[in-house]
Structure 1
Amino acid sequence: MVQAWYMDDAPGDPRQPHRPDPDRPVGLEQLRRLGVLYWKLDADKYENDPELEKIRRERNYSWMDIITICKDTLPNYEEKIKMFYEEHLHLDDEIRYILDGSGYFDVRDKEDKWIRIFMQKGDMITLPAGIYHRFTVDEKNYAKAMRLFVGEPVWTAYNRPADHFEARGQYVKFLAQTA
């Protein structure tokens, strides 16, 4: 099962867990209230997994590719890691399925506090359009992920502040309704 917690405010390497003491865990229901969806799948059979196919069909995830995030395979690795970790939003949902390795998705809660979500092999997550978030690998510096999209992929990230976008307004309205 996925692990999530409120982050500490300590400066330093973002690849560290940044768990506060005492720990402040976050459950799946709290993530759902933020619009974050989660599935645990068998990453060893992702190419022929009926459960993954069912999710893709039901949610209309028609496009996919695979990205390997490590120094040896990702061109401009250091620049990309910094870019992924800049707080941003997208105008479409962000769907990621970790096929190998691990990393962290950080999302903002309703009070603008960071929640860290530890993702490892078999974890699939959907972040709603308009949510402020960021990503980093953990100390192992390696993650292989399937990227999924509804329709054609849109790679544009809008760094914060990006409150003027309709997707952000719709997300804020969603948060108000789940309060």
Structure 2
Amino acid sequence: MRAYYMDDDLVGDQRLPHDSGRSVSDETLDKLGVLRWHIPVDPAGEWQSQVETIADERSYRNRDICLVTKEGMGDEFEKNLKRFYHEHMHEDEEIRFIIEGSGFFDVREHSTDAWVRLHLSAGDMIVLPAGIYHRFSLDMGNKSRTMRLFKDEPKWIAYNRSSATDTNPFRLDYLKSLQGQDVSVGA
């Protein structure tokens, strides 16, 4: 996985790198609450036991596989990519393990509101904390086969960024975890 700040001045397809040339440190990702592992995907499937160990440690009880390709989604492909790329948050952690292909998870750095772009490929696993603003896009490879893990029953409710999500209790809890103090509404 490679992490860097996006260049907001670059325009064009969301699947392009939009690389500012400024790397993001592990320390910054830790402060944002982004957990990450690299577990090589081997043909024998030994990676599955490592994913299971993490799932057990973090109490993830359910999982599914999501395939994002033009062939698999047909006419809905471009529409879905735009939907995935809309800035949002969840009231649960977002846990993803890339089995095949690659893509970008962008997360907001709260202190600057800058986009941090995480380029994930096969073997990369991330956990985004509940309440963090983020979005997803494929890269130019146009393919991702991803295991999604869930603490309880699979649910995937995206709350698009708005004044309402800025005051969502899960968002406020996330902000408190960053600052270790009370967070004013709209911060």
Taking the aligned partners of 1:11 and 1:49, their CA distance within structure 2 comes to: 38
Tell me the residue number matched to 2:2: 3
Normalised to the residue count of structure 1, the TM-score between the two structures is 0.93
Sort the Cα spacing of 1:46 and 1:31 in 2 relative to 1 into closer, same or farther, 3 A. farther
Letter in 1 for 2:140: E
Normalised to the residue count of structure 2, the TM-score between the two structures is 0.89
Between the two proteins, the alignment pairs up a number of residues equal to 175
Task: Please say if 1:56 is aligned against 2:59.
Answer: no
Q: CA RMSD in A?
A: 1.5
Taking the aligned partners of 2:99 and 2:135, their CA distance within structure 1 comes to: 19
Gaps (5+ residues) in structure 1? none
| 1:48 Cα deviation after fit | 6.1
Alignment of 1:76-95 (within 5 A): 76-95=76-95
Structure 1 stretch 71-80 or stretch 110-119: which is displaced more? 71-80
Taking the aligned partners of 2:28 and 2:176, their CA distance within structure 1 comes to: 17
Letter in 1 for 2:34: V
Task: Please say if 1:99 is aligned against 2:102.
Answer: no
Taking the aligned partners of 2:128 and 2:45, their CA distance within structure 1 comes to: 20
SS in 2 for 1:72: helix
Tell me the residue number matched to 1:143: 144
Gaps (5+ residues) in structure 2? 182-187
Tell me the residue number matched to 1:127: 128
> Do the aligned residues in 1 keep the contact of 2:40 with 2:47 (CA within 8 Å)?
no
| 1:46 Cα deviation after fit | 4.7
| 1:47 Cα deviation after fit | 6.8
